[in-house]
Amino acid sequence: MPESAGHWKAAVIQATAIVATAMVVGLIVNAVRKDGITLIGDWSADARLTTSTGEHLIVPLAEAEKLFAHQAAVFLDARSKPEYDAGHIQGAVNLPWHEVEQRFMAVAEGISPDRPIITYCDGEACALSKDLALFLKEMGYEKVRVLVNGWSLWRDAGLPVENG
Amino acid sequence: MVHALRYSMIGLLNTGARIVLGGIFVYAGYDKILHPGAFAEAVFNYQLLPDFLINLTAVVLPWLEVTLGVFLLIGIWIPGAAALSTLLLTIFTTAMLFNFARGLDISCGCFPTSASEGSMTIWTILRDAVFLLPAGYLFVTTFFAMPVVGPRSPQKQEI
């Protein structure tokens, strides 16, 4: 048996031991520390879009549709300009999250703090709309909600869109 | 004489690879241990694991990196550490390549159709792929180079 073959067996045993050590230490430290996290997290959209004060930011499509029909909310598209130009919810204003610092003042000028705002981007896991919503709340806007996977949902439902 | 020089060079390179790799792993895991919640979000944004595995990974993976790093730095259990570090780096690089290929921007968990921003550029992937060099070197010398200092090695008699 070539000498190196012993290396492979040793490697498997050692690697397993290293992984086991990491698991035990990691789990114990996580359980003991103040800022440990739960082992099975809730990564549903609603959980991700609930603030630390318990406010649920999600707005269902049906409700967003109603607000749109009554022109009762401002829709903010958190995606980049090229994506916005390619297609967005009719009447939505583009406020790319990646450029929020430069663009916020100009966009916010026309929106009073008590006006309902709905942010959206594209994709179930897209965090642009959430980041924008939380930012807006910090800036003093009280009624900000997020339409998860807004662009795809809206478009697939055949609701009014425009481009440019 | 030449043999001895060559073997001591390999030994030096081995030690260098060990220390560089070990340092990288400890450094990589350390910050993630300090901020488990943030790391869990990063894992989520990779969109590769099912929801129920995300937190567990966020808790264990950083400790795996640090433990691996420590073993490499100290220089014990090298076969296991070399195999594991090569395996981990291969998995990470593959995951990044896959996400790059499908256009996922892991800073937002979204798929921007315009190639404008994207924290994950080809350079980030290349950087991690570069870590595979010391790992690969260690792996090869540990498992494939015939033992250079061993009881049965004839070269040991040379001066």
Residue B38's φ and ψ, nearest 5 degrees, are -65, -40
B residues 16..55 contacting A (CB < 8 A) = 33, 36-37, 40, 44-45, 47, 51-52, 54-55
- Considering the segment(s) A45-162 as one domain, its CATH architecture is 3-Layer(aba) Sandwich (3.40)
Q: What is the pLDDT of residues A52-80, one digit of tens each?
A: 899 999 999 999 999 999 999 999 999 99
Burial A110-123 (b: 16+ CB within 10 A, else e): eeeeeebbbbbbbb
Q: What is the pLDDT of residues A3-56, one digit of tens each?
A: 555 688 999 999 999 999 999 999 999 999 999 999 999 999 999 999 989 999
* Number of domains chain B contains: 1
pLDDT at B1: 60
Do the domain assignments include residue B44?
yes
Asked casually if ipTM beats, i.e. exceeds, 0.85, the reply is: no
Do the domain assignments include residue B63?
yes
pLDDT at B60: 97
- Residue % of chain A over a pLDDT of 90: 84
What is the mean pLDDT for each group of 10 consecutive residues in chain B (159 residues)? 73 91 94 93 92 96 96 94 94 91 81 59 81 90 66 47
Do the domain assignments include residue B158?
no
Enumerate the domain spans of chain A: 1-40, 45-162
Q: Of B78, B96, B58, B99, whose CA–CA distance to B17 is shortest?
A: B78
Do the domain assignments include residue B135?
yes
Residue B108, CB-side half-sphere exposure with 13 Å CA sphere: 26
B58 and A CB contact within 8 Å: yes
Do the domain assignments include residue B156?
no
Closest CA of chain A from B130, distance in Å: 22
Region A108-114 average pLDDT: 90
Whether A126 is catalytic is: no
Answer for the pair A92, A75: CB distance below 8 angstroms, yes or no.
Answer: yes
pLDDT at A164: 80
Boundaries of domain holding B46:
2-147
